[in-house]
Amino acid sequence: MKTILHIIDTTGPGGAETVFIDLATRLPADKYRSVVVIRGKGWVYEELCRRGVQPILLDARGSFNVSYLMGLRRLIREKGVDLIQSHLLGANVYCSLAGLITGRPVIATFHGEVDIKPNERLVGLKFAAINMGSRRIVAVTDSLLQDIISRTSLSRKKSVVVYNGIETGAYIRPPSIAIRDRFGWHNNEIIVGSLGNIRPAKAYDILLKAAALLKNREIPFRFVIAGQGKGGLYDSLLALRKELGLNEIVQFLGFTDDAGEFLAGIDIFLSSSVTEGLPLSAIQAMVAARAIVATRVGGYVGLIREGETGVLIDAQNPEAIADALEKVASDSELREKMAQNAKQYAIETYDIEVMLRQYRYLYDEVA
């Protein structure tokens, strides 16, 4: 039996965090034992506990936390760790260093372009540590791998692509009227849904501007955004919604722990993001047989086949979003064709068992 140390330095919720939890909790118990380290309490902590895993809390705050690194070294030795699986840039750097110190193999996973900020400090040193200390480096899409290689010294020889996976059966559900009932929306109104925490990369301000353009067109649109939101960005979005006269048209639902129910209640899935890795929410929407309109960024480029499984438009372009939504909403045959094609493709390609099998292959290879 191999003991795997799973580490991420965020507290979620989010796509990377979901993959982290799935890897920590869904590997065969007769072959792998999971030791899980996170930086503090939050959604990730609660979800791990719900699944019967008690995570170890180890504070990673600071630009270079030597105590955190020494804590990892101690845990690796105390727990008899055979392999380290890390996620996102910060954890990948620390775990690569810990791997060098302890001689344990490391698999470092990157989930999106935003993992590496344009003004990232000491990026050369960080990727030198990852290249030396990791045995395999995983990117969740081909486009993400190419982006990181173009901006850093990432080792191409050590890098592989493993698509994120979801439990597809959880998103195959009959249509739901819960959202319509909640807001008193009629059957002839097209509900456009976005699923993702409120942060700059999601560009929800562009979504609001697109909604304003559609407000007086022939087809009645309604928008729902499900995702954790607080702070200045959320307040600015609420102010923009009011300024654009969209208080009755666009609703922020906050975090939802049942994405399947949310997706069952919408007609079209929309992503207005300016950057993405491999968006789990879009894969969930595909399995739920929802037509997709998304920006041509990151993982969406490989995920969506234009006109077959969805529609791609330029980022930061509310006019393009509005036109694409109107096109998809006005053509029910096109919408149904894209929805069914997307469902079939997502189930065949992004089921969680496919992802777990690929990671297990890497684990057995390096350990």
Boundaries of every domain in the chain: 2-165+351-366, 168-350
Determine the pLDDT at residue 39. 92
Predicted model pTM: 0.79
Whether 88 and 10 have beta carbons less than 8 Å apart is answered as: yes
Determine the pLDDT at residue 129. 96
Burial letters 7-41, b for 16+ CB under 10 A, else e: bbbbbbbbbbbbbbbbbbbbbeeeebebbbbbbee
Determine the pLDDT at residue 143. 86
The Cα–Cα gap between 328 and 334 comes to 7
Determine the pLDDT at residue 152. 93
Q: Report the CATH fold assignment for 168-350.
A: Rossmann fold (3.40.50)
Percent of the chain with pLDDT over 90: 84
Whether the predicted pLDDT of 340 surpasses 90:
yes
Whether the predicted pLDDT of 4 surpasses 80:
yes
Determine the pLDDT at residue 280. 86
Which range among 13-17, 22-26, 285-289 shows the weakest confidence by mean pLDDT? 13-17
Determine the pLDDT at residue 302. 83
Determine the pLDDT at residue 164. 92
Mean pLDDT of 130-135: 97
Determine the pLDDT at residue 117. 78
Whether the predicted pLDDT of 59 surpasses 90:
no
Whether the predicted pLDDT of 142 surpasses 80:
yes
Contacts of 67 (CB under 8 A, 6+ apart): none
Mean pLDDT of 241-261: 95
Whether the predicted pLDDT of 338 surpasses 90:
yes
Domains 2-165+351-366 and 168-350 share a fold: yes
Write down the residue that tokens 């699986």 correspond to.
85
Whether the predicted pLDDT of 44 surpasses 80:
yes
Whether 21 and 50 have beta carbons less than 8 Å apart is answered as: no
Per-residue pLDDT tens over the stretch 149-176: 999 999 999 999 999 999 999 999 999 9
CATH code given to domain 2-165+351-366:
3.40.50.2000
Q: Is 1 exposed, middle or buried (0-12, 13-18, 19+ CB in 10 A)?
A: exposed
The Cα–Cα gap between 235 and 239 comes to 6
Whether the predicted pLDDT of 202 surpasses 80:
yes
